[in-house]
Amino acid sequence: MNEMAQLQKRRLALYGWMLAAPALALMSLFAFYPAIATLWHSLFSRGTSRRPSVFAGLDNYGDLFADPTFWTVASNNLIYAGITIPVSIFFALAMALWANAHIPARSFVRSAYFTPTILPMIAAANLWLFFYTPDLGVIDQITGFFGAEPTNWLGQPETALASIIIVTIWKESGFFMIFYLAALQTIPPDLREAAHIEGAGRWTYTRRILLPLLMPTTIFVFVNAMINSVKLIDHLFILTKGGPNNASKLILYWIWEMAFAYFDSPHAAAMTILVLLTLGIVAVIQFRLVEKRTHYR
Amino acid sequence: ATELTMYYPVAVGGPLTDVIDGMIDGFESEHPDVKVNAIYAGNYDDTRLRAVSAIKSGDPAQLSVMFSIDVYDLIEQDLIVPFDDVVKTAEDKEWLNGFYPALMANGKVDDKTWGIPFQRSTIVMYYNKDMFREAGLDPESPPQTWEELVADGKALAKDGKWGLMVPSTGYPYWMFQCFAVQNGKELMSNDGTETYFDDPAVVEALEFWRGLATDEKIMPEGTIEWGTLRQAFVQGQTAMMWHSTGNLSAVKREAKFDFGVAMLPKHKQSGSPTGGGNFYLFKNSTDAQKEASLELIKYMTAPDRAAEWSIATGYVGVTPEAYETDALKSYAADFPQALVARDQLEVAIPEFSTYDTARVRDGLNNAIQAALTGEKTPKEALEGAQAEANRLLRAFH
Amino acid sequence: MSSKRRLPDLDKVFDAVGAWVLAIVWISPLLFATWAALQPSGTALGMDFSNPLTFENFVYVWNAVPWVGYFTNTVVLVTLILAGQLVLCTLAGFAFARFEFKGRDTVFILVLLQLFILPEVLIVENYAIVSKLGLFDTALGIGLPYMASAFGIFLLRQAFKSVPIELEEAARIEGCSWMGVLWKVYVPAAKPVYLAYALVSIATHWNNFLWPLIVTNSPDTRPLTVGLSLFGAPETGVDISVISAATLMTILPLLVAFLIFQRQFIQAFLRAGIR
Amino acid sequence: MTAQSPFIEIHSVSRVFNGGNGVHDLSIDIPRGSFVVLLGPSGCGKSTTLRLIAGLETADQGTIRIDGKDVTNTPPSKRGLSMVFQSYALFPHLSVAENIIFGLKVRKTDKSEIKTRLAEALSVTGLDGCEDRKPSELSGGQRQRVALARAIVAGHPLCLMDEPLSNLDAKLRHAVRKDIRDLQQRLGITVVYVTHDQTEAMSMADIVILMKDGRIEQAGDPAELYLQPATAFAAGFVGSPPMALLPATALPNDVLPNGIPPKGLTFGIRPEDLKLSTDPASEAWGIAATVTGSEFLGAETFVYVSIAGTDGATARLPGRVHISPGTEVSLSWAGVAAHWFDRETGLRHAQATTDIAANAPSQTTEFQTSPSTVSTL
Amino acid sequence: MTAQSPFIEIHSVSRVFNGGNGVHDLSIDIPRGSFVVLLGPSGCGKSTTLRLIAGLETADQGTIRIDGKDVTNTPPSKRGLSMVFQSYALFPHLSVAENIIFGLKVRKTDKSEIKTRLAEALSVTGLDGCEDRKPSELSGGQRQRVALARAIVAGHPLCLMDEPLSNLDAKLRHAVRKDIRDLQQRLGITVVYVTHDQTEAMSMADIVILMKDGRIEQAGDPAELYLQPATAFAAGFVGSPPMALLPATALPNDVLPNGIPPKGLTFGIRPEDLKLSTDPASEAWGIAATVTGSEFLGAETFVYVSIAGTDGATARLPGRVHISPGTEVSLSWAGVAAHWFDRETGLRHAQATTDIAANAPSQTTEFQTSPSTVSTL
Ligand SMILES: Nc1ncnc2c1ncn2[C@@H]1O[C@H](COP(=O)(O)OP(=O)(O)OP(=O)(O)O)[C@@H](O)[C@H]1O
Ligand SMILES: Nc1ncnc2c1ncn2[C@@H]1O[C@H](COP(=O)(O)OP(=O)(O)OP(=O)(O)O)[C@@H](O)[C@H]1O
Ligand SMILES: [Mg+2]
Ligand SMILES: [Mg+2]
């Protein structure tokens, strides 16, 4: 082997590290180190002036599993994710297809779809709060027009979570649309023509050709949507505060409460670690499973 | 010079930071040796988070306005010092006694004063005089008992309008305190270590609240949104609402009709809880800073400032002297509704607060909401909340 | 023209109608906000279109908050964050895309893990770090935790990977150093991705509230959203007309910029082909 | 070409895009079972014509009939035809087999029927063994054959191909073009084939339709196009290296046709018809030229010459020729090899003849063939 | 080819990738000012060799010298060479002018110097007027010329080209290949040129280096490769249509060379050397064959024949030939046209001769040239 070539290789490796270093340093400082500190914290009991913090092992985790709220919150979040992810992906796809089609005033349509993305969540939540106002709100006025009874959308356990879900879908779909829109450009138009000549209708083309080809984008969007289904809670603070009776409480909101309202950072830390673990595992499984199916790229 | 850092929340809408800044300027010109950084820190939750973050990272902060009910947690976390340690002179001790006792109650723990009232509210009843007239009721005699409340409500609830709305999101425990105390029972002991959720009187109070919707049909079912209730009231959706006195200025501005403010109706007795924010002093400050902090608090709660603050926000003036100032007097002359809160302080009780208060409170909130939405009976719900509270408070006996 | 020209496709009509309905539903909250902001406080929900329009809410909101200062701060903050992100993510993305080094893939997975770390729960820790760095109450202090963005690194790495290797080789033969290659070949080639990422980043940080509030003290450093927060009123409930006006004022610059540049932005996204 | 009615009739069809490009008032009749090549430079409207037949574009005017049925407004899937795209348009996520049977599945053909047809198509195109691969795992030539298999599996009587070989390298192109032609003849289908490569057109077509600017320049069998180009454009486009086109004024008087003023004439001569001589005495006449370069290609050598007053010409000489740039040569040709075109209109002057008696034989060789083997043209 | 030392010396260079592909123990000397073509099938290591010279790959073993300097471990930018890529590798965000002067700017050349050089490069490549366009606004041929301009503007004495014409269509390729050759000669630079198209190699090269599986198969001037292929592989690779390679056992005994058993021999014959006759009586001898098809290409016709016991052969006949599939023909050739190769090793049997006296002349024509115009080969 050529010695110079070896040297060259080592130098390139060094360059690589040097280039990545600033970002890695900042990341360690503001994400990895605090995350590890969180992990550490989660192993200690909550300290107060009467009882100092002591090592508690996995007690905090045990407490969480014993807490019925944990199960409520976890199942709420599962429902929330289970609905927001597919539905917003569906809308994003429909939007992208429409925004990509030749329809009148296309740029207005695109802007309309995208606008929720640039609205601050807090402001958007305040607007929706008034949308949902029983009787007076726009929604009840519309349903009332069709003769429906006024509904206390945010005030009943049956509809509270659904109302939150709708806001999330509204906020996210336009963002995901952008990624689909971009992916659609990379699909050669002659595939569509070939499919038509082979006798495929619109629906067959979409189902048999378009959707499989958009799979990589769908994975990207899916992972992002999954992260957001845990991360996005700004609207909860305004819309329901997790109520009524925890009916719309999501994991991160609960973590937030534990950390900053209950002064119980060890349990919050434990919960955080659980979420991190779950997200990481799901993401890895996702990538693994789907990579097999999309290797044609 | 002594430098002070103070955090404060703004919990009612509007440019109140300007008012605070004005007060601070006034203080600094009176005390040229003290420099005050008054920092707006969002709402109460944000402010608490901010204070905790700052103190945990060793940043100096000397005082803050925070929820009056956070007192037990702040003590537990060893963040604050009692005013008794700072108040030295007799004059200062006298000053401590100058506030409405009802407002001081929340700040007193273990016979020490930990919080000084600043932006304090209470719950009053707003009512639409026009609707009273239309329903053939006397607009000048709002209901004074539960029975009258139900009767008037029935007369008012028609054409898709409601007789009464009592909000049940955001601060359900606070509203529930009204019903409970009116039914003769407070929800917690004075030392914050015991709750009485499953007391028959308390259960009955919740049954009454739920009954307003299910039996008497004068209130919509389910929970009622705190944030949009005022809008519902000013748009004539309901004839009466129970809400914080903090709304007074806004209702005055928005309502296109003649409205009245009344004390809450009584049942076994009358009563209403107080609410809002107190001044706290943080540990880890020098004596000079503590001294200066005290001066600042004294300045900001002085009658003139208290009056100014009350007029700007709708919060109650924290001392009787405040109501003696010309400013507040002339304001009240034009707008007598502003005095109802003060009058009600006679019968006011402290806002619900215990050790581990947020968890205990959340249990109660959930119980109330579960009862109001029909998920559980009031008895079931409250018994569950009591069991939970017992478990949480066991450590503090 | 032949009379036999095909009739407009029924499909196309359905498409147009569907697209329009969805667009109107999606934009309706903003339309409602505009309507509410132009109504006197007490009547906004009435939807009584005979009401006269008023600008009093805007006047009130404008006078209540030093918007110009907040606006400047926001622009500075957003620019700073974006600049930092672009630099750091470019360097890191380049390293992950084009350099072979031991442990590269492991480190890259670590970077992706950052996506899952919820910054909201790390506020206390991050506050301490910013404070220790002496960056408290500065734009840099607000921006620093966001500058190493895993999302950005991921996007740029993908973009760089799709640049034909010949371009790099051509540049190297023409005498470019590694930095020269990055700057003269990769960065221009990834321009659409940069634009797309910039849009996402600006929209996110323009609307960030809690973190900037926590690590700042004075109106001299605080962004627009802090101004907006003054009109949120947890204790009494907000005034819909006022909050609508404040919302519009907060996002107006962004909205206007987006509407003006939307063609370019969308084009950039389209060409980016993010997958 | 037979008495029966044409398989495809395109009647006065126009399709004009914004900007004025497209095809204009096109009329073509295509006999059943023939191999028709649309030839022409880039942008002349070949693809547009093909897409009009396929139904991927709609005619502004005129009618298109396939097999006697008016299909002007029929969607592509109802026209009963298949198509091979330049890019092959293979579905990247489907395996070779799935790609081929895509259309059959869409049309809900019988399972067993699909199976036999697939097997047939695979063996016809020599793709056996590749059926489970993805297109990305195939070479260019294999992809091309998958596209072909997909086109023939449906058994449609008409197959359209848009530059199907342009992504293949020279060697492969040569092999595949034979395959396509064989397949067409075996299946007896009609093929409309687009290319801008005149070699492809010449070697494959029954009929070549040469297009220019959205209109037909010349249509006929390949020999006709080569030997009797109707216009100067056709003469220049067909043949490689192309026919040299010189202003008649640059020629000596005695080679000019009678009765037509040389100013209005263009003279054309194919490279293989040019004779080079370095010894001026050996020829009766000749025009002076200078060699500018030569290319040895193994079997033949191209010699480039410049002629005063013209753009120069190319001579094609068999075998290896050593001749250095700068050499003065004399050019001559057989009289019948000369082509004459009107300089203005570009049209061929069919009657123009020259005075010189041809001393070299024409290059067209008629083989003695047995009566049973008639030309397929 | 001259006595002076070679411009590029590649000495026992190996570069083996994981998987065993790459180049193995390669030694090449390239004279200054020559046009060297690396020819070979896909994957034979042409690009790798070129990239080793460029410095884009590092040799595992061996040394590379350019102009006498050991550059084995010198980075590309320090080797003083330029390169044209198959994809052209134009920077899509830069205008034509900026693309061309990219390297000059990187090397901080004088502003005014840059200007003059740019103008020169533009005019040499005929790109005047395009300098402000983006590559995406150019045609394939123009892009190619921009790449060329970028390569020559630096004035490096060495230019490497990796299949620079493969993205152009046939007509354009023909024109550009002349341009490149002219340019190289005008500038007097050394060019190493990679292609898998033997026509390109034949027409452009001073020296062709034919590679196979990472090793050199034959190196020499194009005529040598065509006329005297060193191996059966070379014989089959060079020439289009390729030389027919038949097992000697399929031939009549009297055409076989003396002294070598036919079992060990392969016979090769170029298409242009094959003579077809439908009249068995007219020839002294011939092998029987059946016509399977023919392709008319204008100036010539390829006739495909099958011969029992072989893969068939192609004959190249001038002009237009009508001959229908199925016709029985007799094939013959001039004795000197036959090539013989060892069947095992593929190596040429140089001494093999046949008994038949050739009655057709060899196809090599020697022109009478004036003494001043010596062949450049
Ligand atoms: N959809 C379209 N919109 C506008 N102009 C078009 C469109 N399709 C084709 N054209 C124009 O019509 C003319 C003919 O195009 P067409 O694709 O038929 O050419 P072509 O002969 O196939 O060329 P090529 O060999 O380059 O494929 C061109 O000038 C082209 O620019
Ligand atoms: N970076 C690499 N890693 C692994 N194998 C490689 C690499 N580059 C080239 N090869 C292999 O080395 C062999 C020679 O490659 P090279 O690119 O030199 O071929 P080539 O003659 O240029 O072929 P082509 O005509 O297809 O360009 C091929 O088998 C190829 O697969
Ligand atoms: Mg075309
Ligand atoms: Mg190569």
User: What would the pLDDT profile of A96-150 be if each residue is shown by its tens digit?
Assistant: 988 888 888 888 888 888 888 888 887 888 888 888 887 777 787 788 778 777 7
Beta strand D207-212 pairing with D215-220: antiparallel
| Contact residues for E324 (Cβ-Cβ < 8 A; gap 6+) | D369, D373, D374, D375, D376, E291
Contacts of A11 in chain E (CB under 8 A): none
CA distance D66 to D13: 14
Cβ–Cβ below 8 Å for C233 and B11: yes
CA atoms within 13 A on the CB side of B203: 14
Point out the ligand 1 atom lying closest to the alpha carbon of residue D18. 4
Specify whether the CB–CB gap between B347 and B272 falls below 8 A: yes
Q: How far is CA C243 from CA B303, C68, C239, C248, D206, in A?
A: 32, 18, 6, 8, 77
Which chain E residues touch A4 with a CB distance below 8 Å?
A: 58, 72-73
Supply the pLDDT for residue A295.
41
Q: Do chains B and E touch (3 or more CB pairs under 8 A)?
A: no
Instruction: Specify whether A26 is located in the same domain as A142.
Output: no
Q: Mean pLDDT: which of D42-51, D132-141, D282-291, E169-178 is highest?
A: D42-51
**pLDDT tier at A202, thresholds 50, 70, 90:** confident
- pLDDT surpassing 50 at residue E367: no
Span D349-374, pLDDT tens digits: 866 554 443 343 344 444 433 333 22
The Å distance, Cα A11 to ligand 2 centre, comes to: 25
The residue nearest atom 29 of ligand 1, judged by CA position, is D43
Indicate whether A47 belongs to any domain. no
The C-alpha angle D82, D87, D90, rounded to 5 degrees, equals 65
Best mutation site among E15, E17, E23 for ligand 2 pocket (most ligand atoms within 8 Å of CB): E17
Going by C-alpha positions, the residue among E71, C270, E291 that lies closest to residue D373 is E291
> How far off is chain A from B280, nearest CA to CA, in Å?
17
The CB density around residue A144, as the number of other CB atoms within 10 Å, is 15
Q: Do A136 and B49 touch (CB under 8 A)?
A: no
Half-sphere exposure of D228 (CA within 13 A, CB side): 10
Least confident of D87-91, D132-136, D252-256: D252-256
**Is the CB–ligand 2 distance for residue E21 below 6 Å?**
yes
Q: What CA–CA distance (Å, rounded) separates B28 from B40?
A: 18
Task: State the CB neighbour count (10 A cutoff) for residue D14.
Answer: 16
Residues A113 and A244 in one domain: yes
CB-hemisphere CA count at 13 Å for E298? 27
- Best probe of the D interface among A193, A196, A198, A204, by most D CBs < 10 A, is A198
Asked, for residue A229, whether it belongs to a domain, the answer is yes
My answer on whether A133 and A243 are in the same domain is: yes
Q: Among the listed ranges A137-146, B29-38, D90-99, which one has the minimum average pLDDT value?
A: A137-146
Residue C268, CA distances (Å) to A178, C89, C153, C265, D71 in order: 10, 18, 18, 5, 41
Mutation test residue for ligand 2: of E18, E23, E39, E48, the one with most atoms within 8 Å of CB: E48
C23 touches chain A (CB under 8 A): yes
| Average pLDDT of the segment spanning A278-282 | 83
Q: In sequence order, what are the beta bridge partners of D159?
A: D82, D191
* Same domain as A164, residue A106: yes
Q: Are residues A38 and A118 in the same domain?
A: no
Lookup: tokens for B101: 């006792």
- Judged by DSSP in three states, D39 sits in strand
- Could you tell me what percent of chain D has a pLDDT over 90? 31
Minimum distance, in Å, between the CA of residue D197 and any CA atom of chain E: 7
Q: Which ligand is nearest to the CA of D58?
A: 1
Mutation target to probe the E interface, by most E beta carbons within 10 A, among A2, A10, A11 is A2
CATH of the domain at A253: 1.10.3720.10
Mark yes or no for CB contact D58/C6 under 8 Å: yes
Average pLDDT over residues A52-57: 79
Q: What average pLDDT does range E172-181 have in this prediction? A: 82
Cβ of E285 closer than 6 Å to ligand 2, yes or no, is no
From the CA of D45, how far away is ligand 1's center (Å)? 6
- Element counts in chain D: helices (H) and strands (E): 8, 18
Q: Is the CB of E339 under 6 A from ligand 2?
A: no
The pTM of the full predicted model, rounded to 2 decimals, is 0.83
Across the interface, do A49 and B76 touch by the CB < 8 Å criterion? yes
* CA-closest residue to ligand 2 atom 3: E17
Q: Is the CB of E292 under 6 A from ligand 2?
A: no
Q: How many C-beta atoms surround the C-beta of residue C13 within 10 A? A: 12
Q: Which of A114, A237, A252, A279 to mutate to test the interface with C (most CBs of C within 10 A)?
A: A114
CB-defined contacts D:E, below 8 A: 163
**Averaged pLDDT, E201-206:** 90
The answer to whether residue E61 neighbours chain A at the CB level (below 8 Å) is: yes
Using 50, 70 and 90 to split pLDDT, how confident is the model at C47?
A: low
Tell me, yes or no, if C218 comes closer than 8 A to chain B by beta carbon: yes
> Which DSSP string do the residues of D294-344 spell out, in sequence order?
EEE-SSEEEEEEE-TTS--EEEEEES-B---TT-EEEEE--GGG-EEEETT
Q: Domain E242-369, CATH 2.40.50.140 — does that match?
A: yes
Domain boundaries, chain E: 8-227, 242-369
CA distances for D170 relative to B56, C161, D173, D198, E169, angstroms:
75, 31, 5, 14, 10
Kindly report, residue by residue over B343-373, the tens digit of the pLDDT.
888 889 999 999 888 889 989 999 999 999 8
Chains with 3 or more CB pairs under 8 A to chain D: A, C, E
| A48 lies in some domain | no
Please check the confidence at residue E9 and state whether its pLDDT lies above 50.
yes
Whether A283 sits inside 8 A of C116 (CB atoms) is yes
- State the average pLDDT for chain B: 89
Write out the H or E segment, with its range, that includes residue D11. strand D8-16
Give residue for tokens 């196809």. E363
Q: Is the pLDDT of residue D4 over 80?
A: no
- By percentage, how much of chain E surpasses pLDDT 90? 30
Average pLDDT over residues B293-298: 90
SS3 B45: helix
| pLDDT value, residue E352 | 55
pLDDT at E366 over 60: no
User: What pLDDT, on the 0 to 100 scale, is given for residue E372?
Assistant: 31
What structural domains and CATH numbers belong to chain C?
Answer: 57-273 (1.10.3720.10)
Per-residue pLDDT tens digits for D190-239: 999 999 888 889 888 999 999 999 999 999 999 899 989 999 999 988 88
The span from the CA of C252 to the CA of B333, in Å, is 42
Close Cβ partners of A192 (under 8 Å, ≥ 6 residues apart): A205, A209
For residue E49, which ligand has an atom nearest its CA? Answer: 2
Query: In sequence order, what are the residues at sequence separation of 6 or more whose Cβ sits closer than 8 angstroms to the Cβ of residue D283?
Result: D275, D277, D330, D332
Option in B73, B362, B369 nearest A244 (CB): B369
Predicted confidence (pLDDT) per residue in C82-135, tens digit: 999 999 999 999 999 888 888 888 888 888 888 888 777 788 888 888 888 888
Q: Determine contact: A8 vs chain E, CB below 8 A.
A: yes
Ligand 1 atom having least distance to the Cα of D46: 21
Would the pLDDT of D254 be above 90?
A: no
Q: Does residue D171 register a pLDDT over 80? A: no
Is residue A22 located within the same domain as residue A88?
Answer: no
- What would the two tokens of residue A103 be? 């329809």
Model confidence at E342: pLDDT above 60: yes
What is the rounded CA–CA span in Å between residue A197 and residue D83? 7
CATH T-level fold of E8-227: Rossmann fold (3.40.50)
Cα distances (Å, whole numbers) of residue A130 to A113, A127, B228, C237: 21, 5, 7, 11
- Smallest CA-to-CA distance from E222 within D324, D301, D318 is with D301
pLDDT of E146 above 70: yes
Q: Could you tell me if A29 and A60 lie in one domain? A: no
D positions 263-302 inside 8 Å of A (CB): none
For residue E298, pLDDT beyond 90 = no
Q: Does C212 touch chain A (CB under 8 A)?
A: no
Mean pLDDT of A28-42: 88
Residue B52 has what pLDDT? Answer: 85
Whole-Å CA distances, E359 to E283, E336, E356, E364? 11, 10, 9, 15
Q: Does residue C45 or residue D286 have the better pLDDT?
A: D286
Give me the sign of the Cα torsion angle D196, D197, D198, D200.
Answer: negative
Average pLDDT for residues E115-133, to the nearest whole number?
A: 87
Q: What is the pLDDT of residues E72-86, one digit of tens each?
A: 888 888 898 999 988
Q: Examine the domain organization and report whether A185 and A272 are in the same domain.
A: yes
* Domain extent at residue A83: 54-291
> What is the sign, positive or negative, of the torsion defined by CA atoms of C172, C174, C180, C186?
negative
Give one word for E239, left, alpha or beta, with left for phi > 0 and alpha for psi -120 to 50. left
Across chain A, mean pLDDT equals: 84
**Percent residues over pLDDT 70 in chain B:** 100
Instruction: Please name the member of A22, A104, A272 whose beta carbon is closest to the beta carbon of C121.
Output: A272
Among the partner-chain residues C173, C174, C188, the one whose CB lies closest to the CB of E93 is C188
Ligand 2 contacts CB of residue E17 (under 6 A):
yes
φ/ψ of residue D36, rounded to 5 = -110, 130
The reply to whether residue E60 touches residue A4, judged by beta carbons under 8 angstroms, is: no
Q: Find the residues whose C-beta lies inside 6 A of ligand 1.
A: D 17-19, 21-22, 40, 42-48, 196
Are E42 and E86 contacting, i.e. CB atoms less than 8 angstroms apart?
no
A7 is written with which tokens? 């040297």
What span, in angstroms and rounded, lies between the C-alpha atoms of B49 and C120? Answer: 12
Task: Tell me the shortest Cα–Cα distance from C126 to chain A, in angstroms.
Answer: 6
Confidence of residue D1 (pLDDT cuts 50, 70, 90): very low
Mean pLDDT of B151-173: 89
